Amino acid sequence: MATSLRIDSFESTPPLNEPREDVIRVGVIGYGYWGPNIVRNFHAQEHSRVVAVCDKSEKSLRRVCQAHPEIPVTQDFRELIESTDVDVAAIVTPVWTHYELTKAALENGKHVFVEKPFTCTTAQAEELIELAERKHLKIMVDHTFLFTGAVKRIRQVIEDGTLGQIYYYDSTRVNLGLFQHDVNVIWDLAPHDLSIMDYLIKEKPEAVVATGERHLNGVADIAFLTLYYPNNIIGHINVNWLSPVKVRTTLIGGEKKMLVWNDLEADEKIKIYDKGVEMSGDVYKLLVSYRSGDMWAPRVEQVEALKLEAAYFVDCIMNDKQPFNNGIAGLQVVRTLEAADRSLQQKGKIVQL
């Protein structure tokens, strides 16, 4: 005879709020587009737990409860930031709130994981870096791409000299929307490339030229950045919210080899071409010869970047290490964005960095 269901949960998870030395307790502020990924990844780590989520929107909080019934939620960020049960504040909100929230979190003794771009101005970024230093707290700016298998592999082939001296970095990052109300397309899409370029290229950019146009809501929706580096290295970023197709393609030209990174490819994201140009002869009679050899697509690690980044931040906190994508890395990106904005407003006038 059939009986009523008396199946117990197979394994009970320990209470979340209970302090444990080997677990970093994360409070997440902001549960919009990216927040769920932050919550999922900090929650699934061995050495971290999400102990609270804050969002102004009731609807967003309902989504938290559905996905993670065990995580407490709140609409008041003060409650989260002032709680003694929280070690890290993960700030996943619009950029114009980063400064205020990060400052409050640091002042309450929390480490901060904050979305890119770090702040709206270099002054804000500098103030926060100084504050974190004084309080002996860590800041990590979420430049997720630096934790992807693709970017790590590219860094490797640059570092081991495969490409030779870098000639250029040329990225196209276009798609339809998402339109932001508060920032233009440069602040929305270019931080990815700016942080990647900082990570890959040893030299620092010296100046920026930005052009672009607005068509709909008063902020630029299409823009083109040129970055001048020492040693004739040049960077170029094409960002566009009005493209019918999504493109995520970066060409990196080097003296010895050249690389194409297509982030939309499932399997062969990076292709390295044994192609190049060689010049010989004196200045009056140059002889150009082309080299065209094999192409090679190295296997790229497939682990979710945010998972690695979350683990890395937890490790930095536990072992008191400075993350490489810290406030200073975030400041560097904000400085270039600020300069790009200034150049854009003056229709391409060069702005020194």
Tokens 């044994």, residue located? 274
What mask, x for binding a second copy by CB under 8 A, covers residues 114 to 133? --------------------
Q: What one-letter code names the amino acid at 308?
A: L
Amino acid, single-letter form, for residue 212: G
**Element (DSSP H or E) covering residue 260:** strand 258-262
Residue with Cβ nearer a second copy (156 or 322): 156
Helix axis angle, 327-345 relative to 122-135, nearest 10°?
170
Asked if residue 177 binds a second copy (CB under 8 A), the reply is yes
Supply the minimum distance, in Å, between the C-beta of residue 315 and a second copy: 21
298, 153 Cβ separation under 8 angstroms: yes
Nearer to a second copy, 158 or 174 (CB): 174
Query: Of these, 97, 127, 135, 234, which contacts a second copy (CB under 8 A)?
Result: 234
Closest to 169 (Cα-Cα) out of 195, 148, 149: 195
Q: What value, to the nearest 5°, has the Cα angle with vertex 336 and ends 300 and 89?
A: 70
Least gap, CB of 221 to a second copy (angstroms): 8
Shortest Å distance, C-beta 69 to a second copy: 6
Chosen residue from 136, 160, 286, 320 binding a second copy by CB under 8 A = 286
Q: For the window 132-171, what string marks contact with a second copy as x by the rule CB under 8 A?
A: -----------------------------------xx-x-
Q: How far is the CB of 237 from a second copy (least distance, A)?
A: 10
Nearer to a second copy, 161 or 177 (CB): 177
Stretch that binds a second copy, among 130-138, 234-242, 305-313, 333-341 (CB under 8 A): 234-242
Residues 49-88 as x/- pattern, contact with a second copy by CB under 8 A:
--xx-----x--xx-xxx--xxxxxx----xx-xxxxx--
Nearest distance, CB of residue 123 and a second copy, angstroms: 26
With beta carbons less than 8 A apart as the criterion, state whether 316 and 325 touch: no
How buried is residue 175: exposed, middle or buried, by Cβ count under 10 Å (0-12/13-18/19+)?
A: middle
The least distance separating a second copy from the CB of residue 328, rounded to whole angstroms, comes to: 27
Structure letter (DSSP) for residue 146:
G
Cα–Cα distance, 107 to 138 (Å, whole number) = 12
Beta bridge partners of 48: 24
Query: Which one, 322 or 348, has the nearer CB to a second copy?
Result: 348
Q: Which residues in 199-228 contact a second copy (CB under 8 A)?
A: 207, 209, 211-218, 222, 224, 226, 228
| Residue 20 touching a second copy (CB under 8 A) | no
Q: Which of residues 313-352 bind a second copy (CB under 8 A)?
A: 343, 347-350
**14, 33, 283, 320: residue in contact with a second copy (rule CB under 8 A):** 283
Give me the least distance between CB of 250 and a second copy, in Å please.
11
Question: With left for phi above 0 and alpha for psi between -120 and 50, is residue 161 left, alpha or beta?
Answer: left
CB 87 within 8 A of CB 22: no
Question: Distances from the Cα of 249 to the Cαs of 4, 20, 167, 170, 246, in angstroms?
Answer: 57, 44, 17, 8, 10
Residues facing residue 250 across a β-bridge = 171, 261
Nearest CB to a second copy, comparing residues 70 and 321: 70
For the chain, what is the largest distance between any 2 Cα atoms, rounded to a whole number of angstroms?
A: 99
